[in-house]
Amino acid sequence: ASSSWPSTLDELVRPYPANYLSGDTPGMRSLFPRLLEELKAKAGQGRQGGSSQQGDRSGQDGEISAAPGPAERGSWLEALQLPEQPLRIVVDTERYRLAVLSGDVIVRSYAVGLGGDKTPTGSFSISEKVKNPNGRDNGEFGSRGMTLSNTLYAIHGTDDPSSIGKDRSLGCVRMGRADIEELYDLVPLGTSVTIQSGGLGGVPAPEGERFELTPRHNETNPDKVYRWLD
């Protein structure tokens, strides 16, 4: 990760493996200058406030907890990890749900397939994002994959949609095609992921149109054979 601030959105929208963002929208481009200034200001506040700015983001019932991202102190990535800003992922193995949250607000909620006791629990981050991990969009890992840091596990698509809501993987988190493609566009590299039993309750997916970015670069990695524990 870079410790300098990006001057343009193009510095974040790059080809694999530096695809921090997977594309953009006209709205993102118009808002970027203002957002950048806000993030710089919040990064400064975070350094002045010290640990008090990094408090527990759990709900009052303590069920949902945020995992820290891999951001560097004093960098623009750190600003994205301040409590009021980042998106984070929580996977509830009890309910076979994956939720995207901003603070304690659920932005999206998806059904997922898991691997029972083989699915790891704990705190991770998205360390890699790749399109068509099997070299095509209909392989066993589907059209998108996102590696969980320091593991052989990933959040990815599947060629077996009937496995969603069941324990059929070797530990990975499986998602339907439309869901994984939206999630891939929603969350940047470094997004924190917490896998735990319980915590999400019976939260429905928010209504609304699918979020979609306009891709700008090649995000495939044809030189690698992915061997996630699907």
Give the CATH number for residue 181: 2.40.440.10
Q: Known catalytic residue: 18?
A: no
Catalytic residue among 156, 163, 182, 192: 156
Is residue 209 included in any domain, yes or no? no
Is residue 65 included in any domain, yes or no? yes
Structural domain for 135, as ranges: 9-196
Q: Which amino acid is at 137?
A: D
Is residue 171 included in any domain, yes or no? yes
Is residue 218 included in any domain, yes or no? no
User: How far does CA 60 lie from the centroid of its chain?
Assistant: 24
Is residue 54 included in any domain, yes or no? yes
Domain tally for the chain?
Answer: 1
Q: What is the pLDDT of residues 126-149, one digit of tens each?
A: 999 999 999 999 999 999 999 999
Q: Known catalytic residue: 217?
A: no
Is residue 71 included in any domain, yes or no? yes
Is residue 203 included in any domain, yes or no? no
Residue 117, judged by CB atoms within 10 A of its CB (0-12, 13-18, 19+), counts as exposed
Structure pTM? 0.81
| Whole-angstrom distance, CA of residue 229 vs CA of residue 169 | 7
Q: Which amino acid is at 126?
A: I
Q: What is the pLDDT of residues 46-86, one digit of tens each?
A: 666 654 333 333 343 444 433 333 444 344 444 444 445 58
Ramachandran category for residue 129: left, alpha or beta (phi over 0 → left; psi -120 to 50 → alpha): beta
- pLDDT level of residue 205 (50, 70, 90 thresholds): low
Report which of residues 69 and 159 the model is more confident about.
159
> Would you state the pLDDT for residue 60?
37
Q: Which residue in the block uniquely carries the two structure tokens 């300098």?
A: 4
Beta pairing partners, 222 = none
Is residue 201 included in any domain, yes or no? no
Catalytic residue among 80, 100, 172, 195: 172
